[in-house]
Amino acid sequence: MPGPGPTSSRRSGRASSRRSPPWGRPCRRSRPRPGPPSPIEAAARAAEPGLREGGRLVYVGAGTSARIGVQDGAELPPTFDWPEAQLGFAIAGGEGALLRAVEDAEDSGADGAAWVARAGLGAHDVVVGLAASGTTPFTVEALKAARARGAVTVGISNNPAAPILREAAHGILAVTGAEVLAGSTRMKAGTAQKVILNLFSTLLMIRLGRVYRGRMVAMRATNRKLRARGVAMVAELAGCHAEAAAEALGRAEGEIKRAVLIAGGASPARAADLLLRHDGNLRRALNEAGPA
């Protein structure tokens, strides 16, 4: 057969010199720019410095909101070894109102402000006020008084026009709409408040170095189940057998972070020193300790 003529050669040449279409070339993907922090993250960032200096984390509320605040705060010591001395609860009507409703107590703004004054709150403290309506006088006035004394204040509400969101330095809004049972804020509003507190307090503990690789490394192992969980955590994080993890925990007096360092080859004294110098942050302590 005759070879290709001059016309077909020119066409072939033109075709071979064409640029590849853009979808045929690899494209460089740019990383998305981080947006502003969420209200929960912003509140946690603001709370961190004072708490590192020994400040107190205080929950303020009345009725359902008070009970939700107590539920969140009471779980911080066993879960994250948060000191009880750095935890406080301002409850309208006092502790007795947790079990028996004292409805009129929430109407006294003076009581809320007085609680803050008696507690001597200051610049290192963090005050979290909860109110579904956002208008509860006890909680609003407590936040105002705490902010005036220099404390970091966080207001959580389910009402967009709530005074508590204006009075707090960090307002967190959860719009949950009308309740199925009209006015019963223990339902959607209360559930949303608890979710917000879960996120806020857990993020705080992460920032304070009490969590490592999604594990509760500051947990207090106070029963058989938790002691077994502690052994499993040390074995996983240190990459050792359960027997070695249990031995390390014994040498660390049950402290998981120290045990991870000991299982990795550090002496008990060296492990304690590393954690002390890194403010209890296991990640930084491990980085300095280096490979076993």
Catalytic residue among 41, 48, 75, 253: 75
What does DSSP assign to residue 182? T
Alpha-carbon distance 51 to 55, whole Å?
Answer: 4
Structure token pair of residue 156: 């959580």
Catalytic residue among 106, 141, 167, 255: 106
Is residue 95 among the annotated active site residues? no
Is residue 106 among the annotated active site residues? yes
**β-bridge pairing 152-157 and 170-173:** parallel
In degrees, to the nearest 5, what angle opens at C-alpha 139 toward C-alphas 133 and 141? 120
What residues contact 81, with CB distance under 8 A and at least 6 apart?
Answer: 210, 218, 219, 220
Per-position DSSP letters for 88-130, written without gaps between them: EEEETT-GGGGTS--GGGGG-HHHHHHHHHHHT--TT-EEEEE
Alpha-carbon distance 125 to 53, whole Å?
Answer: 9
User: Active-site residue numbers?
Assistant: 75, 106
